[in-house]
Amino acid sequence: MKATEMKTKLEERIRALEKEKSTLLEEIGQLKEIVELSEKAKDLENEVNKLKKEAKTLKEKIPQEFLQELLEATTPLLEEKEEEKNSSEECPSCEEEELL
């Protein structure tokens, strides 16, 4: 084998290895991101479960009669807010009619 052939083959091999290295580095970066996101999701899930448990515990400490009164008092307020929201969400053609 001639020296020029050997040189050409080595250069081709180097290019292929550099390309593979680049691909692997990119894949490693993406995998690290996935691991970080997965850990963050698990931490948030644990935090949410802890907060749900705390809320449940606190609700259990409140007398049921008071909870019922509170629910009855807030229901009309929620209904009013819903009605206000619905009335402010008029159709676009209604707005055009108002402009005329």
Q: Where are the domains of the chain?
A: 1-61, 63-100
For 45, phi and psi rounded to 5 degrees? -60, -45
pTM: 0.51
Could you tell me which residue, 20 or 75, shows the higher pLDDT?
20
Nearest to 5 by CA among 13, 76, 47: 13
The mean per-residue pLDDT over the stretch 74-96 comes to 65
| 32-62 confidence digits (pLDDT tens) | 999 999 999 999 999 999 999 999 998 888 7
